[in-house]
Structure 1
């Protein structure tokens, strides 16, 4: 089992390797035409400078600053091999990449982070390089390329990371595994951090990791564990009292309450999360939470379909202006299509269900199955039964690559019902059998 390698001190990164620092001091000293004695005196001994240059002594930050002044070079060059001007350029480029991601310009963000990582000057700047790699992973995930995002995150987590960065990587990896339907891997990532006696005290990031793990439990069909863990998470968030923890815990507890039939709780939790998010949160998560709140109200009967439809249509612009992922956008269009179907706006429902399906990875994703099922019902409702049957039959291509689990069972059952309504008796029997197999019956 993997255990995160976490650095005990970010300050320790100030002097990377003694060999490289010593080599840079020696190189600049020779360029300046100085002997070791001339560089050392009067503050240091020439033997001490010799030991530093050979990598046998690690200079303190104060000594490094002294040597940088005497050599007339930047401290950043001695530490990292990068001049102050180069460092400024790197930090500026990193800032632009972050801004692009936050503004939802996913393709641009991905390009900027990739270009940064191609800069050889970044190689010795461990913290900044790790930030660029993490940013690239998030941009790649937002673009819908979950396989590549997972690959980047797996490589990054093998490095020595700060405690905060290690948790951030775990959150993103757990989420990417979950979104790609690799639920066992998602659970393993979360439990490795949150299980055992060595776990850190609760903080915002750990609550967000726990919330991500909670949804993996739910999608894996472990509802008893999910219900228990949701209560634990709510208690932890209430004890912390921070906006981030309250939002994460209530948002995800709402989903668990809804799927387990506790509809009043579901609405209460999501309303609390949305209220706190709107006051304190970032635009990306605010957009996602509006979607979840509308979805919860619609599914529990707390909001009528026509009103939900208008709310979801307005959300499209909000999603386009933030760094919501392709999966998030596909979910929005699918939920909008459902509201349109329920309000008998069938042409718009068909259009948006098709849009949702086109944004998803090719097969192996439950949202694609849901979009196909909705299209089957829409075409059946307007009398185009044969086309409806084709969409229902195509659900198999989306579900078959997925592992047998409770979530797949419910979708196979819905497929069977839809096929039966469309008169495809043989197809319905096969889908019912798959539903039973996924349920372990």
Structure 2
């Protein structure tokens, strides 16, 4: 191992140490001499000791170890990305974590950031939202990316999405605002992603914040974005149009989002756009037959490719269709089942959505006390999800249900 010996000799001399001083009583000067001349091969324990004496990491003494570490990191990250594509998220997170450990040991901070970002993505896809949000938020503030704005923005956006998925909507908005503050100076794709993340958090929270400026900026970006980013922007603009009662504009934007999204390359996203259109049509009292058709078109792909939260959202649309189709008993059965599923997701926003629909089904069935109990739980869930406006709306509905004459009214 002459290269290692030469490296140790150079560093020892540069630090003004004799061979005996480097050995520090643990290894003799003659033993250090044998290492420096390549006659003895130091094991890991010896390398660790000498590296500590020289104020370095062990990998800095052994170029071969550096090359091997790089090869291991590349292989592990490639495996992790492949596992993400095949939806083996826990195993992907494990592989990427191993790559991160190797990168940290080798002092490769940017490689470590890359590995940890992939861990956060895998955790997010696998429904481990709180872990993903905590890791992503830390990545945005890690010292290794202080001077790399695009990486900070990407991490803030991922943290925002993970917080939103877990129902922590104020935290989601905060991370999205942090991304937006820096994204203006980067590229249109990251800027649009930051705006979409912020609008999504505000829309889910039913926030009174004025979003008109954000909408205007996003509309101005759609035509210059690549199709994938443009699809996400159009989807968000459609959601906002539906939310303010402009069903026609909502359908137009969602249709454009679907046309921009290639179902062969992004089948999950394409299916979720159809599902979103169906959801808003049901909520707004729009074309029920169109909503059913879109829902049936999206269901197989969401079932196959969606995350646990995506699948609950899909079946929530089915329950809403049952309510609109005058089958509140079927809706209640499905919603009771979904309520059990949300208990494992740690998503208070989604739990609130299910409870709100369950309250409506029970009200339609004339079971006022049970409907009020569900509304009370739903309001608490939205409070926990940092959505006080939505919670207050449900408390108002709770008060309205005190009157027997209101118990069968639909929203």
| 3-state SS, counterpart of residue 262 of structure 2 | helix
Segments of 5+ residues of structure 1 without an aligned counterpart are 1-20, 36-53, 56-73, 425-441
* 8 Å contact from structure 1 (residues 395, 415) kept in 2: no
Partner in structure 1 of residue 195 of structure 2: 210
Cα gap change, 1:402 to 1:292, in 2 (>3 Å): closer
Query: Deviations 1:69-102 (Å, cap 9, x if unpaired)?
Result: xxxxx999639x4334x53343232222222223
Matches within 5 A, 1:30-429: 33=37, 78=63, 81-84=65-68, 86-119=69-102, 123-159=106-142, 160-161=144-145, 162-195=148-181, 199-223=184-208, 225-238=210-223, 240-278=224-262, 282-304=266-288, 308-309=291-292, 311-313=294-296, 315-322=298-305, 324-360=306-342, 365-382=348-365, 387-403=370-386, 405-417=388-400, 420=403
Deviation, structure 1 residue 30: 7.8
Deviation, structure 1 residue 317: 3.5
For 1:23 and 1:298, the matched residues in 2 are separated by: 72
Which is further off, 400-409 or 255-264?
A: 400-409
Deviation, structure 1 residue 142: 2.9
Query: Deviations 1:350-395 (Å, cap 9, x if unpaired)?
Result: 3432343333357772331221232233344445555445434433
* 8 Å contact from structure 1 (residues 234, 246) kept in 2: no
Cα gap change, 1:247 to 1:423, in 2 (>3 Å): closer
Query: Deviations 1:147-174 (Å, cap 9, x if unpaired)?
Result: 2222212222222234432221111112
For 2:10 and 2:227, the matched residues in 1 are separated by: 48
Q: Which runs of 4+ in 1 moved over 6 A?
A: 24-27, 74-77
Cα gap change, 1:370 to 1:144, in 2 (>3 Å): same
Which is further off, 399-408 or 283-292?
A: 399-408
Deviation, structure 1 residue 339: 1.2
Segments of 5+ residues of structure 2 without an aligned counterpart are 1-5, 13-32, 40-53
Scaled by the length of structure 2, the TM-score of the pair is 0.73
Number of residue pairs aligned between Structure 1 and Structure 2: 365
For 1:24 and 1:413, the matched residues in 2 are separated by: 78
Pairwise CA RMSD: 4.0
| 3-state SS, counterpart of residue 399 of structure 1 | helix
Deviation, structure 1 residue 266: 0.8
